[in-house]
Amino acid sequence: MKPSVLENKDFWAGAFLIAVGATAMFIARRYTFGSSLRMGPGYFPSILGALLILFGLYFLVVSRLRDEKIEGSWSLRALIVLPLSLVLFGVLIDRAGFIPAMLALIVCSATASTEFKLIEVLLFAVFLTALAVAVFVWGLGLPYPLIADFQ
């Protein structure tokens, strides 16, 4: 039985490249293309976008010829949790200060692992935050409030 095209690595690789290339060309359309004597800001990106589309088409052809499946899991848990914990860090460090942001980032990102143990992670987060405060804020003098003033 022929596996579905949706599992084919080359199909998705091709689709991905075409999507990026087409987006780049579409946006670059608004920039002056110029001539090869005086290249405008749109010249180089348009060529790169076109190249990406060509590469993408190549992989679409290849996907008809070989069946290479995408290997391994999509690690959905990590894929969602890790970017989110970075966002959390970004939000907190501006509003709540260095210590809350660090603690949140460490504890939150640790939940991405299936071997997550709450007590261990909490202790580790406190240790690591203390270390980071000592090294970066006191040692290297990075100018972040440890805990933001809410007054």
What is the torsional sign of CA 138, 144, 145, 146? negative
Residue with tokens 């749109």: 42
Nearer to other proteins, 73 or 151 (CB): 73
**Which residues sit at the interface with other proteins, rule CB under 8 A?**
9, 12-13, 16-17, 20, 24, 27-28, 31-32, 35-41, 43-45, 48-49, 51-52, 55-56, 58-59, 68, 70, 72-75, 77-79, 82-87, 89-91, 93-94, 101-102, 105-107, 109-110, 112-113, 115-117, 120-121, 124-125, 128, 132, 136, 140, 142
| Distances from the Cα of 61 to the Cα of 27, 54, 65, 138, angstroms | 26, 11, 7, 57
For the record, the structure tokens of 52 come out as 């990406």
Nearer to other proteins, 1 or 38 (CB): 38
* Residue 95 CB partners (closer than 8 Å, separation 6+): 148
Kindly state the smallest distance separating residue 1's Cβ from other proteins, in Å: 23
